[in-house]
């Protein structure tokens, strides 16, 4: 009887071990897809929500959302190298400084399929870009500025990474729209996605240009810093603010009329569509990549007329 019990116990242990081994093998068999951002910012919460939705539809994949420790090209590159070494199957990245990172991005792209979002790196071996047309977004910002300053005026811009394609294209797009008008963009100051420096840039610009007519925040956190400084200095409502993206402070300013308008992107769709795009590509469906290698998710202008509806949509996506 004792022998029978021991045999049954051994069989049970073997069965449990087999199940556990099968589970571990299944976990190891999952391919990993990584979404790598350019720095720590609340802007990326929507993209993270989009990746979360995609995870629910891609049970055979492990989707990872990664923030570099610092908004620096070298730090971002090390993060991607670590991901490639760990066996990640594909990477989507918002490149910090693609112009100076071509060789590094090509090294990553030679190890795993590389896709870009938010800030493209078209001179690399990346497979495709999914995100906004930053030039078009800049043009929309120019339209907001022309409407806010019908008699013209001088603007100063603020941005995180002046070398990134998304920053350069937004600035160029805005300049193209206001060309020939009485609205001017006289300066743009970078902050390397450093919140303290971002606020100080606004303070310094205001001190040096007390008669400035307009301030433009080209990255999501720049408009809130502009708002804070102008409120603290008693200039809120006197200087027009043109914004990008959907920070809660920005949307609150649009509601109260202290921010003329904001150009919003759709990072939720970048995360959701981007993960599904990479999964299909890895499964052999190369038709998901258009000939242009560009998948453009349109931007739109938000003002007092449509800000409430837009905010309700945002909440539904994040809570969903």
Please list the pLDDT of the chain residue by residue as tens digits (320 residues).
454 444 454 444 444 443 343 344 344 579 999 999 998 888 899 999 999 999 999 999 999 999 999 989 999 999 999 999 999 999 999 998 888 899 999 999 999 999 999 989 999 999 999 999 999 999 999 999 999 999 999 999 999 999 888 899 999 999 999 999 999 999 999 999 999 999 999 999 999 999 999 999 999 999 999 999 999 999 999 999 999 999 999 999 999 999 999 999 999 999 999 999 999 999 999 999 999 999 999 999 999 999 999 999 998 888 87
Strand pairing partners for 21?
none
Q: Is 90 left (phi over 0), alpha (psi -120 to 50) or beta?
A: beta
Helices (H), 116-260: 134-148, 165-178, 195-208, 222-232, 248-256
Distance between CA atoms of residues 295 and 289, nearest Å: 8
Please tell me the predicted confidence (pLDDT) of residue 163.
85
Please tell me the pTM assigned to this model.
0.80
Please tell me the predicted confidence (pLDDT) of residue 304.
96
Please tell me the predicted confidence (pLDDT) of residue 119.
87
Cβ neighbours for 26, distance < 8 A, ≥ 6 positions apart: none
Distance between CA atoms of residues 218 and 263, nearest Å: 9
Q: In order of start, what are the domains of the chain with their CATH numbers?
A: 23-131+266-289 (3.40.50.2300), 134-264 (3.40.50.2300)
Please tell me the predicted confidence (pLDDT) of residue 28.
55
Please tell me the predicted confidence (pLDDT) of residue 18.
39
Please tell me the predicted confidence (pLDDT) of residue 60.
96
Contact 240, 264 (CB under 8 A): no
Helices (H), the chain: 2-29, 45-57, 73-85, 102-111, 134-148, 165-178, 195-208, 222-232, 248-256, 267-282, 307-319
Cβ neighbours for 82, distance < 8 A, ≥ 6 positions apart: none
153-185: buried (b, 16+ CB within 10 Å) or exposed (e) per residue? Answer: bbbbbbbbbbbbbbbbbbbebbbebbeeeebbb
Please tell me the predicted confidence (pLDDT) of residue 6.
45
Please tell me the predicted confidence (pLDDT) of residue 219.
95
34 Cα distance to chain centroid:
14
CA angle 241, 247, 252 (to 5 degrees): 65
Distance between CA atoms of residues 91 and 112, nearest Å: 7
Contact 159, 127 (CB under 8 A): no
Strand 240-244 with 214-217, pairing = parallel
Distance between CA atoms of residues 260 and 184, nearest Å: 16
């Amino acid at each position: 009887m004792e022998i029978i019990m021991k045999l049954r116990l051994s069989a049970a242990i073997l069965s449990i071990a087999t199940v556990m081994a099968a589970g571990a093998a299944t976990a190891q068999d999952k391919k990993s897809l990584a979404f790598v951002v350019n720095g720590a910012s609340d802007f990326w919460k929507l993209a993270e929500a989009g990746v979360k939705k995609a995870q629910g539809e891609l049970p055979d994949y492990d989707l990872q959302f990664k923030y570099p420790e610092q908004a620096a090209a070298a730090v971002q590159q090390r993060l991607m190298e670590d991901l490639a070494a760990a066996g990640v199957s594909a990477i989507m990245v918002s490149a910090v400084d693609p112009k100076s990172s071509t060789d590094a991005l090509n090294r990553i792209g030679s190890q795993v399929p590389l896709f870009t979002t938010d800030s493209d790196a078209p001179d690399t071996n990346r497979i495709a870009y999914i995100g906004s047309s930053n030039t078009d977004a800049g043009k929309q910002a120019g339209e907001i500025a022309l409407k806010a300053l019908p008699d013209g005026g001088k603007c100063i811009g603020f941005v995180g990474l002046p070398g990134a394609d998304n920053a350069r294209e937004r600035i160029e797009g805005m300049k193209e729209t206001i060309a020939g008008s009485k609205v001017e963009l006289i300066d743009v100051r970078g902050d390397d996605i450093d919140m303290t420096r971002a606020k100080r840039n606004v303070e310094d610009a205001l001190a040096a240009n007390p008669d400035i007519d307009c301030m433009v925040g080209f990255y999501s956190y720049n408009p809130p810093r502009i708002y804070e400084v102008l409120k603290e200095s008693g200039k809120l409502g006197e200087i027009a603010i043109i914004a990008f993206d959907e920070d809660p402070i920005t949307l609150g300013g649009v509601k109260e009329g202290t921010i003329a308008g904001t150009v919003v992107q759709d990072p939720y769709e970048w995360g959701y569509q981007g993960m599904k795009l990479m999964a299909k590509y890895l499964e052999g469906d190369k038709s998901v990549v258009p000939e242009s290698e560009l998948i453009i998710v349109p931007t739109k202008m938000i003002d007092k007329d449509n800000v409430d509806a837009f905010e309700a949509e945002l909440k539904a996506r994040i809570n969903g």
